[in-house]
C-alpha cells in the first residue's frame, strides 16, 4: 500500500526540523502481510456496563502496559476512542510508546519516549472509533521487556477524548490524575484496561532493521542497497528492502534505516 501525500509531507516536515520524534496521525492502513500482534485487548463492546472509558484531558492521563513475547520493530498502534466534546469538536490526543520505570519493585510509565504522535480523534459522541497511528521510526521492542502506550491531552474537562475500556479481559494500567506538568503515575495494577492493539514487524536476529547485507552493521553499504531498490514493489519483484512492508521502497524505509544506523 502506498503512503498518502499527506503522510509524506508530515515526514518531510519532521525531517526538516531535525527530529522524527513527534509524528502526526498515520491514516488507517491495511495490515502488512508480515505484521505481528504484539499486544491486543478486546474491543470496547460487550461490557456489562455498556460502552465506557477513561477520560484523557487536562486532569487525567492514561497508560496501558504491554510486554512483547518476541523482539519486533514497532509498526502501528490502534487505540479505541470516543468523544466527550460538543458536536463538531474533535479533541487532540498525544499518544506515545514509552519505556517502563521500575521503582522499589513497582512498574510505572517513564518519560523515556520511543515515539510520539499527535492526532485529533474521529469519534462523534459516545460512538467508539478505532484510530490508527503508524510508526515511522520503528523502534525495536525487546522480548520480555515492559513498555507502555500512553495517552494525554490538554483538552478541558467535558471537551476531552475518552479512551474506551476494553469490553472484557484484564491487563496492567496506570492513571495520572493531575495536570501533566505535575503528573505522578499510579503503580501498574491489574484490572480493566483501555482498548488497544499494538502491531510490530519481525526483525533480524541482531534486532536491527536496516542491516540489508547481513554484516551486523547498518551503514552506507545498506543505504546503497536501499537506494538501488527505490520504488514500487507491486511489479512482482522481491523487495527485502521494503522495511515497513507497505509495498514501496521510499522515504519511510530510509527513515527506518537511518534510525538504526551503526
Looking at the 3D structure of the chain, how many domains does it have? 2
Render 197-260 in DSSP notation, one character per residue.
EEEEEE--TTS-TT-TTSSS--SHHHHHHHHHT-EE-TTS---TT-TT-SSEESHHHHHHHHHT
188 and 252 share a domain? no
136 and 236 share a domain? no
Q: Give the number of other CB atoms < 10 A from CB of residue 243.
A: 23
Q: What's the longest Cα–Cα distance across the chain? A: 57
Domain boundary among 161, 178, 202: 202
- We report the CATH number of the domain holding residue 167 as 2.60.120
Mean of pLDDT values over 125-153: 94
Quote the CA–CA distance of 21 and 18 in Å, as a whole number.
9
Q: Is residue 2 part of a domain?
A: no
Domain boundary among 202, 226, 253: 202
140 Cβ contact partners less than 8 Å away, ≥ 6 residues apart: 71, 72, 73, 74, 203, 207, 208, 209, 260
Range of the domain at 255: 204-262
79-133 pLDDT tens trace = 999 999 999 999 999 999 999 999 999 999 999 999 999 999 999 999 999 999 9
198 and 213 share a domain? no
37 and 73 share a domain? yes
pLDDT at 203 exceeding the cut of 90: no
67 and 164 share a domain? yes
- We report the CATH number of the domain holding residue 208 as 1.10.1330.10
Q: Is residue 13 part of a domain?
A: no
Domain boundary among 157, 183, 202: 202
Q: Is residue 129 part of a domain?
A: yes
79 and 173 share a domain? yes
User: Rounded to whole angstroms, what are the CA distances from 182 to 95, 99, 112, 113, 179?
Assistant: 18, 19, 16, 17, 6
122 Cβ contact partners less than 8 Å away, ≥ 6 residues apart: 81, 90, 129, 131
Q: Give me 226's grid cell.
A: 536501499
Give the DSSP letter of residue 181. Answer: G
pLDDT of residue 238: 66
114 and 241 share a domain? no
Mean pLDDT of the chain: 83
pLDDT of residue 239: 78
Amino acid at each position: 500500500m502506498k503512503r498518502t501525500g499527506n503522510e509524506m509531507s508530515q515526514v518531510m516536515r519532521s525531517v526538516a526540523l531535525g527530529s522524527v520524534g513527534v509524528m502526526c496521525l498515520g491514516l488507517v492502513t491495511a495490515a502488512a502481510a508480515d505484521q505481528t500482534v504484539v499486544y491486543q485487548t478486546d474491543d470496547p463492546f460487550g461490557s456489562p456496563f455498556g460502552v465506557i472509558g477513561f477520560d484523557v484531558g487536562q486532569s487525567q492521563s492514561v497508560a496501558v502496559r504491554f510486554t512483547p513475547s518476541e523482539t519486533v520493530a514497532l509498526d502501528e498502534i490502534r487505540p479505541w476512542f470516543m468523544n466527550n466534546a460538543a458536536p463538531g469538536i474533535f479533541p487532540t490526543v498525544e499518544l506515545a510508546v514509552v519505556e517502563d520505570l521500575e521503582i522499589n519493585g513497582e512498574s510505572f510509565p517513564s518519560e523515556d519516549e520511543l515515539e510520539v504522535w499527535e492526532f485529533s480523534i474521529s469519534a462523534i459522541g459516545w460512538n467508539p472509533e478505532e484510530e490508527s497511528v503508524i510508526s515511522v521510526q520503528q523502534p525495536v521492542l525487546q522480548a520480555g521487556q515492559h513498555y507502555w502506550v500512553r495517552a494525554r491531552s490538554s483538552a478541558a474537562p467535558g471537551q476531552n477524548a475518552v479512551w474506551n475500556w476494553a469490553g472484557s479481559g484484564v491487563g496492567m494500567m496506570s492513571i495520572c490524575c493531575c495536570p501533566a506538568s505535575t503528573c505522578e503515575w499510579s503503580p501498574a495494577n491489574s484490572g480493566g484496561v483501555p482498548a488497544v492493539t499494538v502491531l510490530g514487524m519481525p526483525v533480524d536476529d541482531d534486532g536491527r532493521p536496516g542491516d540489508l547485507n547481513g554484516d551486523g552493521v547498518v551503514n552506507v553499504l545498506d543505504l546503497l542497497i536501499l537506494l538501488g531498490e527505490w520504488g514500487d514493489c507491486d511489479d512482482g519483484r522481491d523487495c527485502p528492502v521494503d522495511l515497513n512492508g507497505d509495498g514501496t521502497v521510499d522515504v519511510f524505509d530510509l527513515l527506518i534505516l537511518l534510525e538504526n544506523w551503526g
